[in-house]
Amino acid sequence: MSGTVALSLVRPYATEEELIAAEGWAIDKKGMVLIDQPRLASGTLVRFELLLEGGERVLVAEGKAVGYAKADGARPAGAKVRFKRFNASAKAFIERVLAAMAAPPPEPSAATPESGDEHAVRVPAATADIEQSGVRHRVSGPVAPPANRAELLDKLRERVRLAKAREAEDAELSA
Total residue count of the chain as it appears in this document: 175
For the beta carbon of residue 77, count every other beta carbon within 10 angstroms: 23
Asked if the structure places residue 124 within a domain, the reply is no
Does pLDDT of 160 surpass 80?
Answer: yes
First to last CA, the chain: 27
Query: What is the sign of the dihedral through the CA atoms of 87, 88, 94 and 98?
Result: positive
pTM, two decimal places: 0.58
Residue 15, domain member (yes or no) = yes
Whether residue 68 lies inside any domain: the answer is yes
Range of the domain at 49: 4-103+145-174
pLDDT-wise least confident of 2-11, 31-40, 57-66, 166-175: 166-175
Q: What is the pLDDT of residues 28-55, one digit of tens each?
A: 999 999 999 999 999 999 999 999 999 9
Instruction: For residue 133, tell me if it sits in a domain.
Output: no
Average of pLDDT values for 138-147? Answer: 69
What are the two backbone dihedrals, phi and then psi, of residue 159, each rounded to the nearest 5 degrees?
Answer: -60, -40
pLDDT exceeds 50 at position 27: yes
Q: Is residue 52 part of a domain?
A: yes
Number of domains composing the chain? 1
**What mean pLDDT comes out for the span 19-24?**
94
Inside any domain, residue 71: yes
